[in-house]
Amino acid sequence: MCSGENPVDGLFVSVPNDGVVPAINECKLAGIPIIAVNSGSVQADNLDLQEYVGQLESTTGFDAGEKMVAAGAKRLFCLNHNPGVTSLTQRCDGFKTAVSKSGTAQFVAEVDVNATNQGEYIAAVEAAVGESGAWTGVGIILTGSIQAPLALGLQLLAAHSNALIATFDTGQVIFNALQSGEYLFAINQQPYFQGYLPIPLLTAKIQANRQLLNFFLH
C-alpha cells in the first residue's frame, strides 16, 4: 500500500502489538502520513506518528479499577481474552494499579480466558476465583465485548449472582445487561468516532500540511 506506482496518500492503522511495527516504519520511510487508532497509544507515540485516536488504555483501566472498588468489590480479576495484545494488557495493568492503590481491595489475577468456548471460559474463571457461592465482593472486568455472551451465560450468573461484572467496549448484549443490572458499567471507546476522525485529519495533512498540536485524541 505504501510503495509501487500508486501508493496511498495517507493511512490509519491499529497497533495491537509490535508485529505491525516494521510495516508501519516502511510506510513512514515512504513519507506516508499515518494515524494510529483504537490500540497502541504507546507504540504510536514511540513511532512518532501523526496522531493517536482512541482511549489511553492504562488510564481507562485505572478508572475502571477505581469505579469497581467504589462499588464494593474486594477481590478483583481482569479477564484477558487475547493475551499478547498490548491494549488488553494495558487495560489489566491500569486496573491492577488502581485496585492495589485503593488500600481496601486486592487485585488477585489477570486471567487468560478462551472467548470461543463457554465451558472452558467458565472453568477458567471459577478456578481463578477459587470459591463457590454467590461471589459477594468479587469484581470482574472483561477486556472486551467478545466475552459478554460468555460472562452472561446461565451457568456463571446463576451460580455467582453477586459478582460485580463490568466490561470494556459496548454492544447490544452489553446494553441489555446494563439495563437489567447484570453489569455494573461498560466503557465505550467510540469506534465510529475512531474510524471517522482520521479522514479529515489525514486530508488536512495531505492537502495543507496541517496537523493538530495534540497528539492523543481521546
- List domains and CATH numbers for the chain: 11-54+191-217 (3.40.50.2300), 57-187 (3.40.50.2300)
Query: Does the pLDDT at position 156 exceed 80?
Result: no
pLDDT band (50, 70, 90) for residue 53: very high
| Arithmetic mean of pLDDT over the chain | 92
Query: Does the pLDDT at position 15 exceed 80?
Result: yes
> So what's the pLDDT on residue 86?
86
> So what's the pLDDT on residue 159?
83
What are 74-93's pLDDT values in tens digits? 999 999 999 988 889 999 99
> So what's the pLDDT on residue 128?
96
Strand, helix or coil for residue 116: coil
Start-to-end CA span in the chain (Å): 27
pLDDT band (50, 70, 90) for residue 40: confident
What are 92-101's pLDDT values in tens digits? 999 999 999 9
Which runs of consecutive H residues, i.e. helices, occur in the chain?
21-29, 41-46, 57-70, 86-102, 118-129, 148-151, 154-159, 172-180, 191-196, 198-208
pTM for the model stands at 0.86
Most confident of 88-102, 137-151, 153-167: 88-102
% of the chain with per-residue pLDDT over 90: 78
What are 41-50's pLDDT values in tens digits? 888 999 999 9
> So what's the pLDDT on residue 153?
65
Q: In angstroms, rounded to a whole number, what is the distance separating the alpha carbons of residues 49 and 211?
A: 11
pLDDT band (50, 70, 90) for residue 164: very high
Q: Closest Cα partner for 111 from 90, 135, 138, 129?
A: 129
Q: Which long-range contacts (CB under 8 A, 24 or more apart) does 174-179 make?
A: 174/145, 174/148, 177/148, 177/152
